[in-house]
Amino acid sequence: MNVELLKRNANKHKKFLENNVMINPFGYEVNGVSYYLVVYKRGQKPKGYTVISEKEYSEVDAHRAFEKLILFTAYVNKFFEIEKMKMKLSPESFSNISSLLERFADNNDCLNKGKEVIDQLNVMLIELQERINKYTHHYDNHVLVNNVVDNKEIQTVLEALSHINRLQYQQGKVLIDSYGYIKEMYKELKKLDLLNMFNDYDQKVINELASGVRETEKSIKEFTQEEEIEHLPVEKQTELILKDIEKVGQEKLPRYKQDLRYPKP
């Protein structure tokens, strides 16, 4: 990867006031030529794209590479957007809450039911974060090391996203369906003056869980496919979710192509 040559090729298509020219660190090969995606930004907003290479190339092949590279980039960006949100909460916090509830839950139906919900959320959070960590490790140690994207890599990130979407939907559904138990648990903790037994972070987690589910109800609306197929085996769910993500990506391709500066579609 001749970075200096790629930079010169990328700068040929930069426009006035664009302060950020980003060459993706991975290429897609077509007929023996590696193609790289350039993203031009003004501030943080993407304004256009170019496909470049170190060699002479076919425009037909470049367009084919663009489709693969732009979709992979979109999938990866979505993955790390989720990663940033979902790795903030530690499963240890749910474990701490569950342990304290267990200490005081004898013959207390409110605390027992609340603990069951906390334990459910904890199991799903652990699996979600394991899925995130697994793909993050793969991205850091394979994609960014080999600097190559192929159809297998595209399938790998799609599989990661399909599992993550499935688990996000399940988390949201459990929280919405069981919110009454969380609310009653919170009232009981206040009544028994147990809230101050949690550390500051765990108190914040409990307060947020008990504060309402309006945001969760809004966010879960995007998971219509996941809702329709939740009765199916996990393997079948992830297969169908993956196909749906692919379909959405294909539907967005014409919009991406409008911003392709070179070679023109």
pTM for the structure as a whole: 0.90
What does the angle CA 113 – CA 119 – CA 125 come to, to the nearest 5 degrees? Answer: 140
What pLDDT sits at residue 9?
Answer: 85
Instruction: Return d(Cα 231, Cα 240) in angstroms, integer.
Output: 12
Helix (H) or strand (E) holding 41: strand 33-42
Look up residue 106 and give its DSSP letter. Answer: T
Q: What is the pLDDT along the chain (265 residues), one digit of tens a residue?
A: 778 888 888 888 888 877 788 999 999 999 999 999 999 988 888 899 999 999 888 999 999 999 999 999 999 999 999 999 888 888 899 999 999 999 888 889 999 999 999 999 999 999 999 999 999 999 999 999 999 999 999 999 999 999 999 999 999 999 999 999 999 999 999 999 999 999 999 999 999 999 988 889 988 888 988 999 999 999 999 999 999 999 999 999 999 999 999 998 8
Instruction: Return d(Cα 234, Cα 211) in angstroms, integer.
Output: 31
What pLDDT sits at residue 127?
Answer: 95
What pLDDT sits at residue 42?
Answer: 86
